[in-house]
Structure 1
Amino acid sequence: MKGNNIVHHITSSSSKLFWFVLFLVLFLNTNTNALVKLPPNKTIPAIIVFGDSIVDAGNNDDIMTTLARCNYPPYGIDFDGGVPTGRFSNGKVSTDIIAEEYGIKPSIPAYRDPNLKPEDLLTGVTFASGGGGYVPFTAQLSGGISYSQQLKLFEEYIEKLKEMVGEERTKFIIENSLFMVVFGSNDITNTYFGLPSVQRKYDVGSFTTLMADNARSFAQKLHEYGARRIQVFSAPPLGCVPSQRTIAGGLTRTCVARFNDATKLYNAKLYANLDSLSRTLRDKAIIYIDIYDSLLDIILNPQEYGFKVVDKGCCGTGLIEVAVLCNKFTAEVCPKRDDYVFWDSFHPTEKTYRVMVAKYFKRYFNKTF
């Protein structure tokens, strides 16, 4: 028995040494190609993502009970090889581009991807799920993976890291990785404004408070896991996305003021909660990321960024097609995707994400370190 234990110890130690060497190789080979140069003595070994369809990369692909999936054409038409992966865009999403800019890897894979390679765990994954939100009922409504379930998957991820590289290296990865949290859109559009029963129970003030309080709890939980670079993203100008213009914008399909007002109210509470949490923890590790103004500026001034169409998606009529309604059988695709701010009626094109990522680096790079 003692001999078997010794063999197991040697085998286990050799395995961890292998993964440690692989980690160093991956780190040295990727960061040297970074377009964005890190400050001296700073590193980002991985990007770890939580959220909804904006940063999903296919976690919902095998969940047959949800319509919040897009692992079919024409989604992914401009992704590597034109293969639909479960990303709600024509190509890469924002977190892919951020990983690319940092030189970590070309894209962030879905944690639940059956083809996920073990080495991908070392450089980051996304736990995001289309239809997710800060309010538990939001994910139940969509059939996606809730924010609490995403945290459970993250706990599983940590244990896998420990098996691969040991406790000390896992702690290093968690402490130095960039955590990105992108929820909120579905809570406002689908749950609050989509369900009269929710509006009878909450006014917009109490509902946005619930969202912001849950966001604070989520960030605090990540901090308890050891994360020290946590970026929590605001909600975008939801009243201006094509589907909401179609549903509630009247005959002229203008931006829906009450949707944008609710979003701004939530964003203000989110900012205040994260600022309060940072002060309580005495740690500046938690950063609020504004994407409301970033996207609204593109929508209001499209010509400055080379866009021509802001009120319709590229897929089909552009008025309502998203997820299952945007497919190769029922929807044609615009030939000039870079003319459009939105890919489908809810999600931006890769070009829009690239413009927004450039704004993100300009505004938040120094705060990250």
Structure 2
Amino acid sequence: MGPLMKLSSPLAFCSSMLLCFIELLLMSCKIKGVMELPPNVSVPAVIVFGDSIMDTGNNNNNMQTWARCNFSPYGKDFPGGIPTGRFSNGKVPSDLIVEELGIKEFLPAYLDPNLQPHDLVTGVCFASGGSGYDPLTSKIATAITLPEQINMFKTYIEKLKSIVGEDRTNFILAHSVFLLVQGSNDIYNTYFLSHARQVQYDVRSYTDLLVSSASNFLKEIYELGARRIGVFGAPPIGCVPFVRTVVGGIVRECAENQNEACKLFNYKLSEELDSLNKNLINSRMVYLDVYNPLLDIIQNYQQYGYKVQDRGCCGTGEVEAAVICNPLSPPCSDVEDYIFWDSFHPSESAYKKLVASLLRKHMYQFY
């Protein structure tokens, strides 16, 4: 009997061979990344939580929610022209980030019925369109709440252990990049549009509520093994086409009250991340500012190659989003002219500009 058989049972040998096969399969699936990583750094996976900015199809089978887009014209510029449940004409930041890092071409939704075991090893998306830090936000949209996203993450961890073992799972969790995108639905939909929280909170106390919820969520995924976590601030919600239409007046200006609330939330969120980094050992929680880069694109749209900054491509571009942006609302002739795809969500082109800028600016902070 050779040395290998002395050291390994047939079952252990088969398990080892299976792990080797999975590693080889993943290596063959890697794509050439655009982002230059710090020396001796590789990112095994990207794991995403959040809302429609990141959702890659988790809401597809939730027939209770209006926050769905698994129908045309969504996905018209996605490979194959398929509506996948991404709130975009093409890819969303979840996809673009894993592509930039050379991990894979798309980040699959965890609830995708076609998800394969090897997909788990390099990351998945738990985000749900319409969700928020405020529990009421997800309830209004019938979206997957943050606690539910954490529960899915827990089942993901157990599945990952069954595929690659506990040691490799712990390594993946410790070295992967986690991303969290929330806040927009809370600030606009729950606070300003429905007024559901204005009886209980002013803007200052409501943003405190959101930051407290974010902090609790981050501490929980930290306890589950996450260490390198990027948290997106709120974008300039007051400048998205729908908000311009509703409260921007006859000339559809940016709504300053909404933008000021976003800036206040972002400041408090950044401060909280600094505090968490000081108190949680080996944590690398990074605040990702999207407010200023997106506002710059909107204000200086022609310099970025766009012709339209205040309307989305879908239909009139003023109110159409989710179920209102449908085959009866034909899109513009050239989405490359538009910053926004629908009345809430940027186009794939704008996402590409934002993602490339964010990764160049912040990637080193994770490591």
> Taking structure 1 as the reference length, what is the TM-score of the superposition?
0.94
1:156-191, CA deviations, whole angstroms, 9 ceiling, x for partnerless residues?
000000111110011011111110000111001111
Report the equivalent of 1:293.
Answer: 292
Look up the SS of the partner of 1:71 in the other structure: coil
Equivalent residue letter for 2:99: E
Q: Which moved more, 1:81-90 or 1:278-287?
A: 278-287
Report the equivalent of 1:334.
Answer: 332
Structure 1 residues 18, 297: closer, same or farther in 2, change over 3 A?
farther
Report the equivalent of 2:90.
Answer: 91
Deviation at 1:23, TM superposition (A): 4.0
Deviation at 1:26, TM superposition (A): 4.3
Look up the SS of the partner of 2:254 in the other structure: coil
Q: Distance in 2 between matches of 1:125 and 1:72?
A: 22
> Alignment partner for residue 349 of structure 2, among 348, 351, 355?
351
Equivalent residue letter for 2:342: D
Equivalent residue letter for 2:319: I
Give the percent of matched residue pairs that are identical in Structure 1 and Structure 2: 50
Q: Distance in 2 between matches of 1:15 and 1:248?
A: 63
Report the equivalent of 1:49.
Answer: 48
Look up the SS of the partner of 1:310 in the other structure: strand
- Does 1:262 find its partner at 2:261? yes
Deviation at 1:19, TM superposition (A): 4.6
Equivalent residue letter for 2:365: K
Look up the SS of the partner of 1:201 in the other structure: coil
Equivalent residue letter for 1:46: A
Look up the SS of the partner of 1:334 in the other structure: coil
Report the equivalent of 1:362.
Answer: 360
Look up the SS of the partner of 2:54 in the other structure: coil
Look up the SS of the partner of 2:105 in the other structure: coil
Contact map agreement 1:315 1:343 (CA 8 A) in 2: yes
1:168-217, CA deviations, whole angstroms, 9 ceiling, x for partnerless residues?
01101111111000011100111111223410111111110000111111
Q: Distance in 2 between matches of 1:117 and 1:177?
A: 19
Contact map agreement 1:17 1:165 (CA 8 A) in 2: no
Contact map agreement 2:31 2:104 (CA 8 A) in 1: no
Equivalent residue letter for 1:340: Y
Contact map agreement 2:37 2:363 (CA 8 A) in 1: no
Report the equivalent of 1:153.
Answer: 152
Matches within 5 A, 1:55-66: 55-66=54-65
Q: Distance in 2 between matches of 1:232 and 1:265?
A: 15
Structure 1 residues 11, 315: closer, same or farther in 2, change over 3 A?
farther
Deviation at 1:11, TM superposition (A): 7.9
How many residues matched? 360
Contact map agreement 1:299 1:310 (CA 8 A) in 2: yes
Equivalent residue letter for 1:188: I
- Does 1:324 find its partner at 2:323? yes
Matches within 5 A, 1:226-305: 226-305=225-304
Report the equivalent of 1:29.
Answer: 28
Look up the SS of the partner of 1:171 in the other structure: helix
Report the equivalent of 2:4.
Answer: none
Report the equivalent of 2:109.
Answer: 110
Structure 1 residues 358, 281: closer, same or farther in 2, change over 3 A?
same
Equivalent residue letter for 1:359: S
Q: Which moved more, 1:37-46 or 1:62-71?
A: 37-46
Q: Distance in 2 between matches of 1:42 and 1:216?
A: 27
Q: RMSD in angstroms over aligned alpha carbons?
A: 1.6
Deviation at 1:295, TM superposition (A): 0.5
Deviation at 1:15, TM superposition (A): 6.1
In structure 1, stretches of 5+ residues that fail to align are: 1-8
Q: Which moved more, 1:277-286 or 1:11-20?
A: 11-20
Structure 1 residues 32, 110: closer, same or farther in 2, change over 3 A?
closer
Deviation at 1:22, TM superposition (A): 3.7
Report the equivalent of 1:17.
Answer: 16
Structure 1 residues 292, 160: closer, same or farther in 2, change over 3 A?
same
Report the equivalent of 1:6.
Answer: none
Deviation at 1:30, TM superposition (A): 5.0
Structure 1 residues 115, 251: closer, same or farther in 2, change over 3 A?
same
Contact map agreement 1:31 1:102 (CA 8 A) in 2: no
In structure 2, stretches of 5+ residues that fail to align are: 1-7
Deviation at 1:142, TM superposition (A): 0.3
